[in-house]
Structure formats: structure tokens, C-alpha cells
Structure 1
């Protein structure tokens, strides 16, 4: 079969599209005829080898994909040939103390399809049954592929970790990205007053279209100053920051006393300076979050499938142009998700 692959870590020139062996289908696996995949920033980090990754090479990346079931392993009970499915990439052991409590993202051996083990940006993919969700008829492949990772991540951040309530105020940084555009919609759905940052008039307009009450151009203004001005120097109740070093200090400055900062990533670096005095004096909470439980995945995807949440697609490319898709993410081009499709289906 044909698949996206790389033989070593580096820049986009390490990415290739070519022949790899067909996947082996284990007893708990489902063989999926992949119709579409989607890019996330973790694909960029995996390609670069950050943080330190010890991957078997060549590595097939990709944590988001959707397609049709071709074959099922002997122990599979939830899916059958012809079913429409999408990948939910977080893999848990199911047996540690956290899994027994139902909080699977805290699993002591938690790992991610495409990041720590072979991914799904290929013509065929063998995926554990527990890592698939059903896709209703009428949902297009691009939406099905692009929704799971970012919407489950944003859902857990805002609903489970930050516990956003109606009437609270939420600032979403990087609203044009995958997690950002999901977080804007989820915060709006929760009844919050939503502030969003982006870097162009077009992106700001998109943010407003999907639920932002206030859109701030972070390239022309200091967003922390803008937040203080908008809120009468109070600040917001919650900041969603997946940017890291470049925004961390201003994110903390943007919080009201007793506010919560929730983070799932650090696309500009993971070692920001923190003014500890601000933390204890303003009694701030910093909350880490990643992926979601199966129940959280089901809850948010139901709202994607029924059209409550809009999965914005910035471009659809053949898998042979995945290097270009990586460049779009790195250069912050466009609004929403980048989708790739097998060249044979493009």
C-alpha cells in the first residue's frame, strides 16, 4: 500500500509518500480503508522528533483519519465490514489505577497513534477496535477525519478540566488552529463570553462566525492589554493556551483573580518563565489537559455529527503533498484543519 512516511527526523523534506507493507490485523484490530486523514501540530513535533521519540523507521504519521471497515479481527464485536468509522487516537492500558477510575488520559502508559506508534495517514490502517468511533451516514469524510482529536481535546479542556459555567468569560488563543477553532465553539456552547485571538482580518472574521464575541489581532495589539481594557481591568475567568512560551506571561496577565489557565500544548516552546508571585497572589489555577475519555469523545462528536459544531477545513491535499500540509501548519496559513486524502482517492 501507499503511505506517508519518513525515515528520520528533520524538516519537511524528510516526508515521503510511497510503498510500505500492508498492515497486519490483530485479533482486536479493525482494518480501515482510509478515505481521509487530518493534520495536527503533533504531526509536526513527531516529524521533528520532539520531545525525544524512539520510533521504528520508516514511521507512518497521522493521528486523525476516517474510512470504511474492510476486515475485523477475531475478537472485534462493535464493527463490521462496510461500517463508517473515524480514529480516536489516545491509547490506554485499561488496567492501571487511572483507567480503573475511568480517567483514561491519565493512564500510566498512555500513548497516541501516529505519535508514539505507527499512524493512519495511509491507504489502509489497522486500528484497535477501542480506538474507533462510528461515523453516521451523511457526514463527509473530511469532517469525520478532522474532528476527533481537536474537538475531544478542547472539550475536555473546557468542560472537564476548566469546568466552564454559563456567564463566565473565556479567552481562546490561536483561534484559527484546530484546537483553537474547536475551543471557541465549545466555550460559546457552554454559555461563556468568548474572546479569541488570531493574526489577520480573515481569521478574526472566521472566529466571530463560529462564536467569538470579541476577536483580537495579536500581531497588532497586546492581547493582555486588550483583555484588561475589555473587562474593566478584571480579566477573564479562563484562558485556553496551547501556544506556550510566546504567550504564557500574557495569558497569566489576562486572568481574573481566581482564574484558570488550561493548556494542552506548547507550539512555541515548553519552558516559559512564570512569575510565581502572580500565581499565588491572584490565586490562579494552571490546568494541564490532553485528549479525552471515550465518554467525552462520544459527547463532543455527537455535537459535531449533528452540525452543532462546525469543523472548518482550510485545505484538502493528496497525501503525496503532506510536506506542504506540514508547512501550512508551521506557517499558520489559513483557518481550521488541513486534510489529506490517499492519492488513489483524491
Structure 2
């Protein structure tokens, strides 16, 4: 099958469109013909060597995938051939990621794709959605507790905002000026555009998706600060112990998110689309910044 590979870490030009052997389908696996794979910051950090990982070369990047089941293992009962699915495959833990024509992995990493959403667009959900859900799970929030989300218009931030609002929490945001209108349409209260304008000690928690350590100033005394970013975390202060959240593969949680999308209670915008063979260009454009909506690669 065709896939994007790299044989060493480096700039986007280390990515190549190559032929790689398909992996065998084990008893608990499914094989998925890929409709779309999404580009995530972790893909760039893996490819560049920013993350210290024990990769097997040639390595195939990618965590997010949507597609159609084309083969099932002998012990798989959750999916059948022809069904549309989405999945998050934590690439460093597996031989191949999702930048490929086929993805073969444990069926427990997948969920049925959301009904009513184009299958290409469904690839935007898994990593961002699971990151948001698992980050929020680290918080203990009283009913109606106010929360500030940094990077609120990004992939993870936007989902976190929607989940918090649905749970009855007032949400304020730190975001770019150009994102104010879209965030207010979601139901966000105050949208701050500069870190120095954040209020002091006003929110029960801060969910930091943008690596803004200084946002801890907005946390009330003895409140909570949790981040998903790889930047240095703020030092403890005022009874606040900052925490870090890492995402785990979880098909059951992903199914819950998929069902929310199907019900119209959660939206995940998509942006530019590139042919799979143009993954290097997609990485170049992504790293330049300024893109909105999840970038998709299409085999």
C-alpha cells in the first residue's frame, strides 16, 4: 500500500510517498481503507524530532483516521465489513500511523463514524475530541463553576468549550481577535485576546490548550490548572498545583463523542485538504500557522 514515510527525523522534506507492506489483521484487529487522515501538532513534533521517541523506521506518521472497514479479525464483533469508522491510533506505540491508504489496528481503538457527517470530516474528531474529554476529566468542577480555556478556537479548545458549556459551566476564552465572533456564537462569554488582560483569580479552573503558563493568574485560589501543551508548566502558587494531561486511545469514549456529533451537539470544523502524497506541503503550511479547522490528508 502507499503511505507517507520518514527514515529519520527532520524538516517536512523528510516525508516521502512510498510503498510499504500491509500489516496482517490479527484476531482483534480491523483493516480500514482510509478516507482521510488529519494532521495534528504531534505529527509535526514526531517528524521533527522534538519528541524523544523510540521510532521504528520507516515510520508512518498520523494519529487520526476515518474510513471504511474492509476486513475484520476472527474475534471482532463490534464492526463489520463496509461500516464507516473513525479511530485514534497513537502512532509511536504502533508500527504504522494513519498517513496511509490502509490502517490496521485493534478494533477497540475505533468507533462508528458519526451519522450525517461526511466521512472525510469525521477524521477531525478522534485526537482532539479524546484530548478534550480526558483533560476535562482531570478537573473537579462544582455545578456552574466558571472555566477559562486558552486556545479556545483550536481543535482541542473548541471541543472543550462545547463540552463545558453543555455541562452548564460559564466559559471564557483566550483566543485571537479573529476568533471572537465564532466563539461567541458557541456561547462563550468574555473572549480575551491578550494574556496580560486576563483577570486575576476569577475562574475555578483554566484549561490550557495553547501553552500559556501565565494564564494561571486567572485561576482562583486553590483552583485548578491543567494543560495539554509541551511548554514548561507554571510553578505551583496560591494552592494551585498545575497538571498535565496526555491523551490515551479509547474507542468507547470516541463513540460517545461520535454520537454527540451525530446528534448535532458537537461540531468539529475542518479546513484545508491535501492529497496524501502532498503531506510534506501540508506540514509546511501547518507549521507556518494561521490555519483554522483541521487539516486533512486524502489518499
What residue is the counterpart of 1:126 in the other structure? 104
Q: Which of 221, 227, 238 matches 2:198?
A: 227
Mapped to 1, the partners of 2:163 and 2:62 lie a distance apart of 24
Q: 1:13 to 1:48 in 2, by over 3 A?
A: same
How far 1:257 moved relative to its partner?
Answer: 1.0
Mapped to 2, the partners of 1:209 and 1:198 lie a distance apart of 14
Indicate the SS of the match to 1:161. Answer: coil
CA contact (8 A) 2:112 2:258 kept: no
What residue is the counterpart of 1:253 in the other structure? 217
Q: CA RMSD in A?
A: 2.0
Q: 1:275 to 1:126 in 2, by over 3 A?
A: closer
Mapped to 2, the partners of 1:87 and 1:294 lie a distance apart of 7
CA contact (8 A) 2:113 2:258 kept: no
Q: 1:115 to 1:328 in 2, by over 3 A?
A: farther
Q: With the length of structure 1 as denominator, give the TM-score of the two structures.
A: 0.80
Q: Which runs of 5+ in 1 are unaligned?
A: 90-111
How far 1:123 moved relative to its partner?
Answer: 0.7
> 1:237-293, CA deviations, whole angstroms, 9 ceiling, x for partnerless residues?
11111333xx21x12212111211112222xx3x35x444xx2xx211323322255
Name the stretch that deviates more: 326-335 or 188-197: 326-335
Q: Which of 215, 237, 242 matches 2:204?
A: 237
Q: Which runs of 5+ in 2 are unaligned?
A: none
User: Is 1:332 the counterpart of 2:296 in the alignment?
Assistant: no
Counterparts of 1:43-122 in structure 2, within 5 Å, are 43-89=43-89, 112=90, 114-117=91-94, 118-122=96-100
Q: With the length of structure 2 as denominator, give the TM-score of the two structures.
A: 0.91
User: Is 1:314 the counterpart of 2:271 in the alignment?
Assistant: yes
The runs of at least 4 consecutive aligned structure 1 residues that moved more than 6 Å come to none
> 1:15-67, CA deviations, whole angstroms, 9 ceiling, x for partnerless residues?
12232222322222111111111111111111122321121111111110011
What residue is the counterpart of 1:105 in the other structure? none
CA contact (8 A) 1:5 1:16 kept: yes
